[in-house]
Homo-oligomer: A and B are copies of this chain.
Amino acid sequence: MASQRGEGETTATPLEPADRERARAIPEAAVARLAVYLRVLSGMADQGVTAVSSEELSQAAGVNAAKLRKDLSYIGSYGTRGVGYDVEVLVSHIERILGLTRNHSVAVVGIGNLGHALANYGGFPGRGFPVTALFDVDADLIGVPVGGIPVSHIDDITAVCLEREVSIGVIATPPPAAQSVCDRLVSAGVQCILNFAPVVLQVPDNVEVRKVDLAVEMQILSFHVARRADEAASVSAGIVSAGNNGLGVDGMVIRP
């Protein structure tokens, strides 16, 4: 772990003390939205847009305008009253806060269907996240290049991750292997993990895990399908909920 990391100010990512305290205070939900704003803003910049108001940007991002302004205020005051925000300025500040000024090397573990898809994503979404290592257990895969990177054996995970300074590990293995893979990533010094396996990972406090769970997403949708179907049944039976929340009682269009 004796790489560039240690000596604070000499490295890249120069975050001012004021920004540092701000970064600490940004709510997780706001961080997620900042990433969305960034994408929208980048798109605007590509189209030659130079300035934008909170109203326009919030619509494009699908959020409330006040919320957007508050989110932006977490990272500082970079707007101009009466005018709006400068797109370039906003982009660069959000990138800085999100730590996108530095590259984050990514390792994908588990080169099945999903692993292939991830490895081939090419430059990885939004760039700045180069995939530099792939791992699997299958002997037939070892050494085979996928998306330009040869697959390594999972037993070499520590050495390879350290060597290539992997900062984000992506777990795309079958469920039973996930915890073990996670442990290995952690002992290789990886502190951020994106988990696609439908498993609740146990990790030390200093490791950040985010999970993408297809089954859960599907089931949440299923819940809504069921709720809708059920409401429709109620309506067709002439039942109307007495305790209606104030969402507007207008006849929501429901197909027979």
A249 within 8 A of B: no
Chain B: minimal CB distance from A47 (Å)? 13
Give the number of copies in the complex.
Answer: 2
A234 within 8 A of B: yes
User: Which of chain A's residues 87-122 have a Cβ closer than 8 Å to chain B?
Assistant: 97-100, 102, 104, 106, 112-114, 116-118, 120-121
Q: Mark A207-233 against chain B: 1 for CB-CB distance below 8 A, else 0.
A: 010101111111111111111111011
CA distance A113 to B10 in the complex (A): 41
Q: Please state if A224 and B192 are interface contacts (CB–CB under 8 Å).
A: yes
A205 within 8 A of B: yes
CA distance A109 to B129 in the complex (A): 26
Q: Please state if A256 and B217 are interface contacts (CB–CB under 8 Å).
A: no
Nearest B residue to A192 via CB reads B221
B residues less than 8 Å from A36 (CB atoms):
200, 213, 216
Interface residue ranges, A against B (CB under 8 Å): 1-2, 5-11, 13, 15, 17, 20-21, 23-26, 28, 31-32, 34-36, 38-40, 60-62, 97-100, 102, 104, 106, 112-114, 116-118, 120-121, 124-126, 128-129, 167-168, 189, 191-194, 198, 200, 202, 205-206, 208, 210, 212-230, 232-234, 236-239, 241-243, 245, 252-256
A1-B256, A32-B216 given. 14 additional CB < 8 A pairs? Answer: A8-B237, A20-B241, A23-B226, A38-B219, A60-B200, A98-B222, A98-B226, A99-B225, A112-B117, A113-B116, A168-B218, A208-B221, A208-B224, A212-B214
Please, could you name 8 A-B residue pairs with CB atoms under 8 Å apart, sorted by A? A1-B242, A32-B216, A97-B226, A125-B214, A167-B225, A192-B221, A192-B225, A194-B221
